[in-house]
Amino acid sequence: MTFVREKHVDYIYGLDKREKDSFEYYVTEHLRMSGVYWGTTAMDLLKQSHRMDRDRIIKFVLGCQNSDGGFGGNIGHDSHILYTLSAVQVLATFDALNKLDYEKTINYVLPLVKDDGSVMGDKWGEVDTRFSYIILNMLALLKSLDRIDVHKISTFVLNCQNFDGGFGAIPGAESHAGQIFCCVGALAIANRLDEIDKDTLSWWLCERQLAKDGGLNGRPEKLSDVCYSWWVLSSLACMDRLHWIDKDRLHSFILACQDPEKGGIGDKPENMSDVFHTFFGIGGLSLLRAEPDLKMIDPIYALPVDVLRRVGIESPYTKRFKI
């Protein structure tokens, strides 16, 4: 199958044009902020974000900020660090960070760091290495990493590495590819990737590629799924070991998960498209450099390289590859 570029553009554009309350494509109502990030970033990688309704999207994003400074997954929803990062990412993509109240936003995330360096997702206190990555990514985008103890936060992440080389949500928790992406990204931002056993971790990641279909899974014994093209590939890219997997077979697997008629990408061949897998599929193709005319995505920040440059971030990945 070939890459049905225009169909994907139409698919995402069509979703953006729907009426406000039929945004079910953005997964579910409470995840809408993340959906906007997946949709706009995918469109930007396809070099078509100018076709989206920038003003309406910015208004929506800013409308999700609560009085505590955090952003909810939708207007009127409770703040969570996850949606706060998505909000910052969308504003960065649309070159609209000047509309953000930096102090208010930063003051929401600072108290989420605990004494042991772990990071909570919201006021309810769940701790997870995903949130360690999120706070570092977000404050890097806002040029405010000096506001937190980066060493303490990244030390907690290092303590979550397992004997198999992978990382879990907390010390001792099972390795999982999504979690590994977050931990590797966090350590890359903290400039501490040299402190982990990259070879053991990269072997674990390579073993996620299935001989059966060339796709990648997230854990041993699981089926392949397009979103792992992102979690696994980005981690390997950060460690300069993208060539450890069979790129051609993964490329074919991602293309096989496209909907050739309506556009979009599903988790597996024949499954219905959704904006989450569309974004991570296109992100994977960008990292593979498998298709022409896609913007380069940065594996650490999960944003296009040119967006990062605009906010003044030259990530180690882009430096290494002189992109």
Binding site for Zn ion (CB under 5 A): 225, 227, 267
What are phi and psi for residue 266, nearest 5 degrees? -100, 180
3-state secondary structure of 245: coil
Nearer to Zn ion, 16 or 267 (CB): 267
Minimum CB distance to Zn ion, residue 281 (Å) = 10
What are 65's strand-pairing partners? 71
Mapping DSSP to helix (H, G, I), strand (E, B) and coil, where does residue 274 land?
Answer: strand
Of 259 and 267, nearer to Zn ion (C-beta) is 267
Cβ of residue 182: shortest distance to Zn ion, in angstroms? 15
Q: In terms of CB distance, is 225 or 259 closer to Zn ion?
A: 225
Please state the closest distance from residue 225 (CB atom) to Zn ion, in A: 4
Distance CA(4)–CA(6), nearest Å, equals: 6
Q: How far is the CB of 207 from Zn ion (least distance, A)?
A: 18
Rounded to the nearest whole angstrom, what is the least distance from the CB of residue 51 to Zn ion in the complex?
A: 26
Q: Which one, 71 or 181, has the nearer CB to Zn ion? A: 181
Cα–Cα distance measured from residue 108 to residue 70, given in angstroms and rounded to the nearest whole number: 5
Q: Which residue is nearest to Zn ion (CB)?
A: 227
Nearer to Zn ion, 44 or 225 (CB): 225
Least spacing, CB of residue 283 vs Zn ion, in Å: 12
Q: How wide is the angle at C-alpha 278 spanned by C-alphas 54 and 177, nearest 5°?
A: 120
* Angstrom distance (rounded) from CA 248 to CA 311: 33
Q: In the structure encoding, which two tokens stand for residue 69, read together?
A: 């400074």
Query: Which pair of structure tokens corresponds to residue 33?
Result: 């902020």
Closest CB to Zn ion among residues 70, 264: 264
Torsion-angle region of 27 (φ positive above 0: left; ψ -120 to 50: alpha; else: beta):
left
Task: Please state, as a whole number, how many other Cβ atoms lie within 10 Å of the Cβ of residue 213.
Answer: 17
Question: What is the spatial distance between Cα 172 and Cα 305, in angstroms, rounded to a whole number?
Answer: 34
